[in-house]
């Protein structure tokens, strides 16, 4: 992910936002990281933007999504999944899929500063005015 070879990731855990919440939050900055492995002894991290996500069965992954995950074939993707998640590849298991892109400072900073200002300053202020 840090090398920029992936533009999608899948997440098997249910600890994720609902689809409605995700739609209201995206795009949103996120931190991506790589784990240490024997072939990559140093972990890396970087700032990315999550542009959206969806919930679907693991086996329903398309060829386009396989390539966005950084693989050429479903076989390579299955081997990666099994290595990462304890040898299990259940094609019927529903997983989160997130669309990511690298954070581009010039293009993204203004947008996220405005969102942060609205979230921290304007929304609480408007809520307080509405309660008066």
Whether 132 is in a domain gets the answer: no
CA pair distance 112, 108, nearest whole angstrom: 6
**Predicted local confidence at residue 4, as pLDDT:** 56
Whether 113 is in a domain gets the answer: no
Determine the structural domain holding residue 93 and report its residue range.
8-105
CA pair distance 132, 100, nearest whole angstrom: 41
Ranges of residues in the chain whose predicted pLDDT is under 70: 1-5, 14-19, 124-132
**Predicted local confidence at residue 81, as pLDDT:** 93
Write the pLDDT tens digit of every residue in 43-60: 778 888 888 888 889 999
Whether 62 is in a domain gets the answer: yes
The predicted model scores a pTM of 0.72
CA pair distance 20, 132, nearest whole angstrom: 30
**In 58-106, at which residue ranges do the beta strands (DSSP E only) sit?**
94-102
- Phi-psi category of 4—alpha, beta or left, where left has phi over 0 and alpha has psi -120 to 50? left
**Predicted local confidence at residue 1, as pLDDT:** 44
**Predicted local confidence at residue 16, as pLDDT:** 59
Structure tokens at 124: 């609480």
Considering its fold, how many domains does the chain have in total?
A: 1
């Amino acid at each position: 992910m840090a090398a920029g070879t992936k533009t999608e990731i899948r997440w098997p855990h249910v600890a994720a936002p609902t689809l409605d919440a995700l739609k209201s939050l995206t795009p949103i900055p996120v931190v991506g990281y790589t784990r240490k492995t024997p072939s990559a002894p140093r972990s890396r991290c970087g700032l990315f933007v999550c542009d959206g996500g969806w919930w679907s069965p693991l086996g329903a992954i398309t060829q386009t999504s396989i390539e966005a995950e950084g693989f050429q074939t479903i076989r390579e993707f299955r081997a990666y999944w099994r290595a990462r998640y304890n040898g299990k590849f259940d094609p019927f298991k529903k997983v989160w899929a997130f669309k990511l892109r690298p954070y581009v400072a010039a293009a993204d900073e203004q947008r996220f500063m405005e969102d942060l200002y609205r979230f921290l300053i304007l929304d609480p202020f408007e809520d307080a005015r509405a309660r008066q």
